[in-house]
Amino acid sequence: MLRLSDLALPLDHSSAELEQAVIARLGIDPADLERMTIVRRGNDARRKAAIKLVYSLDIVLRNEAEVLARFADDQHVRQTPDTSYKFVTHAPANYDGPRPVVIGAGPCGLLAGLVLAQMGFRPIIVERGKAVRERTKDTWGLWRRSVLNPESNVQFGEGGAGTFSDGKLYSRIKDQRHLGRKVLSEFVKAGAPDDILTEAHPHIGTFRLVTMVMSMRETIEKLGGEYRFQTRVEDFEIEEGADGERRLVGLHLSDGEYLPARHVIMAVGHSARDTFYKLHERGVHIEAKPFAIGVRIEHPQSWIDTARYGPSAGNKILGAAAYSLSHKCSNGRVVYSFCMCPGGRVVAATSEEGRVVTNGMSQYSRAEFNANSGIVVDIDPERDYPGDPLAGIAFQRKFEELAYKAGGSNYKAPGQKLGDFLAGRPSTEFGVVTPSYQPGVHLTDLSECLPDYVIESIREALPVFGRQVPGYDHPDVVMTGVETRTSSPVRITRGRDYQSLNTRGLYPAGEGAGYAGGILSAAVDGIRVAEALALELVSEPVPA
């Protein structure tokens, strides 16, 4: 099979026109074209009056060898790569060796658990939150009734942090083994829409994520895996050998059970602050790591569509427009858009009482009125939160508490209109933009709950963004805060064997350990770590 990439066609074209374009591009006789499938479709909107769809296609030809030879110097005509997933090992038949334990049922833990189960190792998945259906009720409890369940919320529970999200499924990670393809294929098998396999910027949306997560659980259980919900890992039993080597030997669970465990994937996400403290107390190697903080910004989606797509705004093929913005400030900081959610809503994303955190989500249709995005500023341990490895957590908590107070101490988010923010005065009434955050927005002055350098940097960046996306810096645009959970404030460093630098048997993984950012990269990391653990179980070397 041959892969043809970078084939651009006008926005509104028929499938016959696509076929003709392939025939013309390859200079072939139509009779030689046996079959073609779309493997990627993106758009090129640099010229708004002439937006193009850009395809990669897999093509079966009668005369493939001849065509490949003719296009030997053309990087857009190549043999189709083999993207199928190959297991690195399998458990011996009737395996009765140690069962691996996975802590956390987010995308990282889910894919680690699935791959271990598919290899025959019958993992035990321990999750502090509830199964996803019950968890959904608790999550809505905060949004609708201002009642937070600290163990079952946007961050904690089956499906992990991205369950109530836009479900964006792209990442910039290096992925030579096509593990992202394995993740997306498993998602489709579990009920995600097929187009995530072909769209250049795929997304699932909240509703479908919930059913997908349930279906993946059924698969893992059928393969002999086991879930324990509402069970928090509270402590780690670590033994030190005569040679000084530290080894994880068991886990203390919140239901009082001691679970012997010598092979543990720790995929706890970036909000498991109590777990980070416990690991630090037990001497597991942890480092502070940079992350970003800021606000969530909301615009009517139609403004973004018009700014991005001009006369084609609203075209169904294009869908709701997204954006990605970045500005290097005169103070040296970088301000950038983060986790942009077209046609979605801003959500209350705290997992701790007395704190307010914002984030964004949307449904598959992306049909809600507003577009939202984090506008965040990079911060780092040396400059902004020097101290012990956990200083970033204290830093996050400080500003989340200030946001809670500024919002009225009832889980409403503090908010401000962009014009007032730039002028340095509190807002008193909304303009043409109505914010979507539930349980509500309390208008105030956002400088009360963010560091001065963050406010100063965002003030410099917004007019610059307004020049790139007309209307972006309209004075009525609403900003809410605070956006603090952009990535993990710590890294639980691991070696080449994917185990903790100083504690054997502990495999830090995913976003919480500082090895991923986003659903897809966390899931890919889960596969990599599961493979390393499986090879250790069957005592084979870890591949490079």
- Smallest gap from Cβ 423 to ligand FAD, in A, equals 30
Residue 455 binds to ligand FAD (criterion: CB under 6 A): no
- Smallest gap from Cβ 318 to ligand FAD, in A, equals 19
Residue 454 binds to ligand FAD (criterion: CB under 6 A): no
- Smallest gap from Cβ 418 to ligand FAD, in A, equals 22
User: Residue 378 or 420: which CB sits closer to ligand FAD?
Assistant: 378
Residue 165's alpha-carbon distances to 52, 144, 423, in angstroms, are 28, 17, 32
Alpha helices in 332-437 (DSSP H): 381-384, 391-406, 418-423
The SS3 call for residue 338 is strand
- Smallest gap from Cβ 96 to ligand FAD, in A, equals 25
Residue 359 binds to ligand FAD (criterion: CB under 6 A): yes
Q: Which one among 100, 113, 123, 129 touches ligand FAD, defined by CB under 6 A?
A: 129
In whole angstroms, give the CA distance from residue 185 to residue 304.
31
Go through 340-378 and write b for each residue having 16 or more CB atoms within 10 A of its CB, e for each that does not: bbbbbbbbbbbbbeebbbbbbbbbbebebebbbbbbbbb
Angle between helix 206-222 and 132-145 (nearest 10):
150
The residue with tokens 């393809």 is 181
In whole angstroms, give the CA distance from residue 258 to residue 260.
6
User: Residue 165 or 427: which CB sits closer to ligand FAD?
Assistant: 165
- Smallest gap from Cβ 454 to ligand FAD, in A, equals 20
**Are 216 and 222 within 8 A, CB to CB?**
no
- Smallest gap from Cβ 93 to ligand FAD, in A, equals 31
In whole angstroms, give the CA distance from residue 183 to residue 192.
11
Subset of 175-234 contacting ligand FAD (CB under 6 A): 232-233
And the tokens for 89? 């090992």
User: Residue 12 or 255: which CB sits closer to ligand FAD?
Assistant: 255
Q: Which of 85, 89, 86 is nearest to 541 (CA)?
A: 89
User: What pairs with residue 300 in β-bridges?
Assistant: 370
Stretch that binds ligand FAD, among 164-172, 294-302, 315-323, 457-465 (CB under 6 A): 164-172
And the tokens for 399? 């500003």
Alpha helices in 128-281 (DSSP H): 132-145, 179-189, 206-222, 273-281
Stretch that binds ligand FAD, among 219-227, 355-363, 443-451, 500-508 (CB under 6 A): 355-363
User: Residue 22 or 357: which CB sits closer to ligand FAD?
Assistant: 357
Q: Which of 233, 235, 239 is nearest to 267 (CA)?
A: 233
- Smallest gap from Cβ 120 to ligand FAD, in A, equals 23
The residue with tokens 């927005």 is 441
x-or-dash string of contact with ligand FAD, 499-538, rule CB under 6 A: -----------xxx---xxxxx-x----------------
Residue 157 binds to ligand FAD (criterion: CB under 6 A): yes
The SS3 call for residue 495 is coil
Stated length of the chain? 544
- Smallest gap from Cβ 270 to ligand FAD, in A, equals 6
Q: Which of 81, 89, 74, 99 is nearest to 6 (CA)?
A: 74
- Smallest gap from Cβ 214 to ligand FAD, in A, equals 14
And the tokens for 198? 């072909």
Residue 275 binds to ligand FAD (criterion: CB under 6 A): yes
In whole angstroms, give the CA distance from residue 19 to residue 21.
5
Residue 166 binds to ligand FAD (criterion: CB under 6 A): yes
Residue 279 binds to ligand FAD (criterion: CB under 6 A): no
Q: Determine the residue type at 343.
A: G
Interface with ligand FAD: number of residues (CB under 6 A): 44
Stretch that binds ligand FAD, among 294-302, 354-362, 424-432, 444-452 (CB under 6 A): 354-362
Q: Which one among 55, 121, 156, 303 touches ligand FAD, defined by CB under 6 A?
A: 156
Q: Which one among 361, 377, 478, 506 touches ligand FAD, defined by CB under 6 A?
A: 361
Subset of 285-304 contacting ligand FAD (CB under 6 A): none
Residue 491 binds to ligand FAD (criterion: CB under 6 A): no
Q: Which one among 160, 180, 374, 392 touches ligand FAD, defined by CB under 6 A?
A: 160
Cis omega (within 30 of 0) for bond into 439: yes
User: Residue 339 or 375: which CB sits closer to ligand FAD?
Assistant: 339
**Vertex 269: Cα angle to 265 and 272 (nearest 5):** 100
x-or-dash string of contact with ligand FAD, 99-128, rule CB under 6 A: ----xxxxxxx----------------xxx
Stretch that binds ligand FAD, among 49-57, 263-271, 423-431, 498-506 (CB under 6 A): 263-271
* End-to-end CA separation in angstroms for the chain: 29
Residue 250 binds to ligand FAD (criterion: CB under 6 A): no
List Cβ neighbours of 432 (8 Å cut-off, separation of 6 or more): 300, 474, 476
User: Residue 233 or 304: which CB sits closer to ligand FAD?
Assistant: 233
Cis omega (within 30 of 0) for bond into 357: no
- Smallest gap from Cβ 109 to ligand FAD, in A, equals 5
Which residues of the shown chain bind ligand FAD in the complex (CB under 6 A)?
103-109, 126-129, 154, 156-157, 160-162, 164-168, 232-233, 267-269, 272, 275, 339, 347, 349, 359-361, 510-512, 516-520, 522
